[in-house]
Amino acid sequence: MAKKVLIAGAGLGGLATGLRLAKKGYSVEILEKNGKAGGRLNQLKKDGFTFDTGPSFFAMSYEFTDFAKDCNITLPFKYYSLDPLYTVSFRNSDKVYHLFKDLHKLAAEFREEEPGFEQAMRKYLDKCRRLYYDTNVVIKNNYDSLLHYALTLPQVGPAHVGTLFRSFWSQVSRYFKSNEAREILSLVAFFLGRTPFDTPATYTLLSYTEFMHDGYFNVEGGMYKIVEGIVNELEKENVKISYNTEIVDFVAEGNKLKYLIDSEGKKWEADIMVINADAAVFRGKIFRRPEFSEEKLDRMEWTMGSLTIYLGIDRKLPDIQHHNYYLGTDYREYAGKVYSSAEIDEAPYYYVNVLSRSNPECAPPGCESLFFVCPVPDLRFKSSWHDRDQIVDRIIDDFSRRTGTDIRPHIVSRTVYTPEDWGDQFNLHRGSGLGLSHKMLQIGALRPKNFDEHFKNVFYTGASTIPGTGLPMVIIGSKLTTERVLKYNDQ
């Protein structure tokens, strides 16, 4: 008889691992706290508008195509590449930088600020390319022990040791002189949920993925099509998803987990359990492991929180691209306080996504569906959001001023999620948006493992276990977790 696997959480990690295991012949069932699948990769439909609530694009598309190949399916959603990748503008300047993939075109954007940009960029990207290929071995491996990890690291090669000790910012500054080029090219560090000043230079490999290797992609009809597509494939494999089922307790027998218990007291039994809820939080809150107590979690390094704003407006914004970054005037000062100051800047930095620009079906005719993300401190540093509406108003005013279009009288739908909402919805520690950070002491074998320390039949998948956060990483992680489960079964 097929072995039964229970997965706690229907985020991308849980869904992808579920499909891989179902395809390997396991009988899979998924338990999800919320009324919908997707976790942070989610959707809001309101007042005739559709909004992607979390991820708005992805990199490394080949991880999705490999996933489909491994599962022997046609990828159940369509994606298209973005060019320009995004735009960036600075406060007090009318100039809008278009981040083209074509380096010649890109260099023209920096003609005045950074003469010699193209040559510098080619050199910079060449180093990023070598980092990308040489570190692949670290990202795509399961580690059974610290020793195994320590033996793998030298394969990365001595040429990259310096990047462990430099910041992303210092690395970019070695190649570019102007603040504009440095600030724009180091923005990608924010995608990892930290700033370029505290992200190791090793992650400049991301510049290679964005500009050269693959680029960024959007999904036709919005990002939630990824979830709908995988759920549809799971249904074909008779995988049941039980919604509104939050795991709050457990029963163990020796070194095996026997039952997961939900908030109604129902016991769920299986041979194997995969936890897609945050790998650190679940160990602390549900398994009550002292190493993951609330105090210990607070001492770990988390990515920043997100203030997200979903606006439906009854007019078009033809001059605004799909992805846009609105920066301020003092990058270093901003980065120094963005995590830890309870006072949000008068004029914070933010990102705006116009989903309806390429997906007109996501807004009523003549309307636009806008999604703002503003990086903010997690709840350890800003515990109260009583000033939420004032902060949101300031961002909307700033956007109106900078784009020369007063959108305020055109807002017909408005929804806001603070880190409190993100934390409550998905059980994220202190509302941290991307989970544990990727500092060197929190990656590889030093990240919460994808197998349990005590229960032989328990595994983890998702952003806070290996290899890390972001959609492609979570897809790679689903493969690594599946390998663990298969190996366990062979024992």
Q: How far is the CB of 262 from ligand FAD (least distance, A)?
A: 7
Closer to ligand FAD at the Cβ: 43 or 308?
308
Q: How far is the CB of 287 from ligand FAD (least distance, A)?
A: 11
- 178: its two tokens: 């102007």
List for the chain the helix, strand, coil content (%; round to 5).
40, 20, 40
Closer to ligand FAD at the Cβ: 22 or 107?
22
The answer to whether 190 and 210 are in contact (CB under 8 A) is no
Closer to ligand FAD at the Cβ: 52 or 183?
52
298-302 LR contacts (CB < 8 Å, sep 24+)? 298/380, 298/430, 300/436, 300/442, 301/436, 301/437, 301/439, 301/442, 302/193, 302/378, 302/429, 302/430, 302/432, 302/435, 302/436, 302/437
Please, what's the b/e burial string for 214-237 (b: 16 or more CB within 10 A of its CB; e: otherwise)? bbbbbbebbbbbbbebbbebbeeb
Q: How far is the CB of 491 from ligand FAD (least distance, A)?
A: 26
Closer to ligand FAD at the Cβ: 128 or 474?
474
Q: How far is the CB of 475 from ligand FAD (least distance, A)?
A: 10
Give the number of residues written for the chain: 491
Closer to ligand FAD at the Cβ: 93 or 244?
244
Q: How far is the CB of 121 from ligand FAD (least distance, A)?
A: 23
Alpha carbons 326 and 351: distance in angstroms, whole number:
6
Q: How many CB atoms lie within 10 A of CB 256?
A: 14
Q: How far is the CB of 319 from ligand FAD (least distance, A)?
A: 22
Q: How far is the CB of 295 from ligand FAD (least distance, A)?
A: 20
Alpha carbons 17 and 2: distance in angstroms, whole number:
16
Closer to ligand FAD at the Cβ: 107 or 241?
241
The answer to whether 378 and 430 are in contact (CB under 8 A) is yes
Closest-by-Cβ residue to ligand FAD is 11
Task: Tell me the backbone φ, ψ of residue 148, rounded to 5 degrees.
Answer: -55, -45
Q: How far is the CB of 144 from ligand FAD (least distance, A)?
A: 22
Closer to ligand FAD at the Cβ: 120 or 344?
344
Closer to ligand FAD at the Cβ: 39 or 196?
39
**Alpha-helix residue ranges (DSSP H) falling in 199-261:** 205-208, 224-236
| Contacts of residue 298, Cβ cutoff 8 Å, sequence gap at least 6 | 380, 430
Q: Which residues bind ligand FAD (CB under 6 A)?
A: 8-14, 31-34, 39-41, 54-58, 246-247, 276-277, 306, 308, 373, 426-427, 433-434, 462-463, 469-471, 474
Q: Which residues pair with 370 in a beta bridge?
A: 311, 354
Sort 145 into a burial class: Cβ within 10 Å, 0-12 / 13-18 / 19+: exposed
Q: How far is the CB of 277 from ligand FAD (least distance, A)?
A: 3
Alpha carbons 261 and 1: distance in angstroms, whole number:
24
Q: How far is the CB of 32 from ligand FAD (least distance, A)?
A: 5
Alpha carbons 114 and 17: distance in angstroms, whole number:
46
Reference 472, options 216, 250, 279; nearest CA is: 216
Closer to ligand FAD at the Cβ: 97 or 417?
417
Q: How far is the CB of 41 from ligand FAD (least distance, A)?
A: 4
Q: How far is the CB of 352 from ligand FAD (least distance, A)?
A: 13
Closer to ligand FAD at the Cβ: 135 or 303?
303
Closer to ligand FAD at the Cβ: 10 or 206?
10
Alpha carbons 474 and 480: distance in angstroms, whole number:
10
Q: What is the DSSP string of 244-277?
A: S--EEEEEEETTEEEEEEETT--EEE-SEEEE-S
Closer to ligand FAD at the Cβ: 33 or 430?
33
